[in-house]
């Protein structure tokens, strides 16, 4: 739910159908899960089939997502696991990482603000005593746009800022993107190719994304001053 909300247009609320598509389960399974979450006070379901996290639900989601993305950083930065494998592995770890281990991870990793995929690590202020103020997330200093929207506006040079969760589940696609240099901090040339595909010319090769893939990538129009400070976070 939390990740679906991140990926929706600003202000939009995910539906049961979107949750079913993400989890790739039957509608009855989703209905049962939503009923349990609603019973436990973690979500609210509207007449329009929209699912909204309650305050307790959002707090629980933040804890899980924070652990997941910290584990991703541990796997990539410290252990050296391949970038494209880190999401699936962190999914296995996220429910068994204790609060004590989580705080230790924040210290060891120097309180990273974003995951290896450029996604913000939420709720870090709950684990740190002072303001973060670190420069590894430059998204607040520049406009961001979905890759498909950027291509529709003519494309051009851009820097990769973020890859959403739905593309992280595709290891083959992630491996192609990493080999090409289409990773957070990477500089690419974007060329629209019709309505359903986008060509991305990166430092090593050109890769093609379909419409769904292009909606899963966030870019920033290229700025040489900002680009000089960006870091490849894939290990």
Q: Find, among 149, 231, 234, 232, the residue nearest to 198 by Cα.
A: 149
Question: Do both 153 and 121 map to the same domain?
Answer: no
**Domain shared by 15 and 93, yes or no:** no
- Both 143 and 111 in one domain: the answer is no
Q: Does 99 fall in a domain?
A: yes
- Provide the 10 A C-beta neighbour count for residue 42: 19
Assess if residue 64 is contained within a domain: no
Residue 164 shares a structural domain with residue 214: yes
Contacts of 51 (CB under 8 A, 6+ apart): 1, 13, 14, 15, 16, 19, 34, 43, 44, 45
Question: Do 115 and 179 fall into the same domain?
Answer: no
Q: What CATH number is given to the structural domain containing 217? A: 2.30.30.90
**Bridge partner residues of 28 (DSSP):** none
Task: Please identify, among 95, 126, 157, the residue that sits at the C-terminal boundary of a domain.
Answer: 126
Tell me the per-residue pLDDT of 187-203, one tens digit each, with 9 for 90 and over: 999 998 877 889 999 88
Q: Is 9 exposed, middle or buried (0-12, 13-18, 19+ CB in 10 A)?
A: exposed
Q: Which phi and psi (to 5°) does residue 191 adopt? A: -125, 120
d(CA 150, CA 127): 36
Q: What is the domain range of residue 109?
A: 70-126
**Residues 221, 180 share a domain:** yes
Which of 95, 90, 164, 103 minimizes the C-alpha distance to 129?
103
- Do 47 and 96 belong to one domain? no
- Return the higher-pLDDT residue of 221 and 229: 221
What is the distance between the alpha carbons of residues 42 and 194, in angstroms, rounded to a whole number?
42
Strand segments, DSSP code E, in 23-155 are 43-45, 51-53, 145-146
The pLDDT of 6-21, averaged and rounded, is 66
What are the tens digits of pLDDT across the range 147-187?
Answer: 999 999 999 999 999 999 889 988 999 999 999 999 999 99
Sheet of 217-221: strand order equals: 145-146, 217-221, 156-163, 187-192, 197-201, 206-210
Same domain, 108 and 155: no
In a domain, 59, yes or no: no
C-alpha atoms less than 13 angstroms from C-alpha of 94 in its C-beta half-sphere: 19
Q: What is the pLDDT of residue 112?
A: 93
Same domain as 212, residue 171? yes
* Structural domain count of the chain: 3
- Residue 21: is its pLDDT beyond 90? no
Residue 62 covered by a domain: no
pLDDT value of residue 135: 39
- We report the CATH number of the domain holding residue 43 as 1.10.10.10
Write down the pTM of the prediction: 0.82
Do 221 and 143 share a structural domain?
yes
In a domain, residue 61? The reply is no
């Amino acid at each position: 739910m939390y990740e679906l909300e991140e990926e929706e247009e600003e202000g939009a609320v995910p539906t049961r159908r979107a949750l079913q598509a993400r989890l790739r389960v039957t509608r009855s399974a989703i209905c049962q899960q939503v009923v349990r979450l609603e019973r436990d006070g973690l979500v609210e379901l509207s007449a329009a089939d929209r699912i909204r996290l309650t305050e307790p639900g959002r707090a629980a989601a933040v804890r899980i997502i924070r652990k997941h993305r910290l584990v991703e950083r541990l796997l990539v930065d410290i252990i050296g696991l391949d970038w494209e494998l880190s999401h699936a592995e962190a999914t296995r770890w996220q429910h068994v990482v204790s609060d004590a281990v989580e705080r230790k991870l924040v210290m060891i990793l120097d309180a990273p603000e974003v995951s290896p995929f450029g996604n913000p690590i939420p709720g870090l202020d709950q684990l740190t005593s002072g303001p973060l103020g670190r420069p590894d997330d430059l998204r607040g200093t520049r406009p961001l746009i979905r890759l498909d929207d950027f291509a529709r506006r003519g494309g051009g040079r851009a820097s990769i800022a973020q890859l959403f969760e739905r593309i992280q589940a595709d290891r083959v696609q992630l491996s192609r993107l990493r080999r090409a240099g289409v990773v957070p901090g990477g500089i690419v040339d974007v060329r629209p190719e019709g309505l359903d595909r986008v060509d991305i010319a990166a430092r090593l090769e050109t890769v093609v994304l379909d419409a769904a893939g292009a909606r899963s990538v966030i870019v920033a129009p290229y700025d040489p001053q900002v680009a000089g400070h960006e870091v490849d976070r894939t290990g």
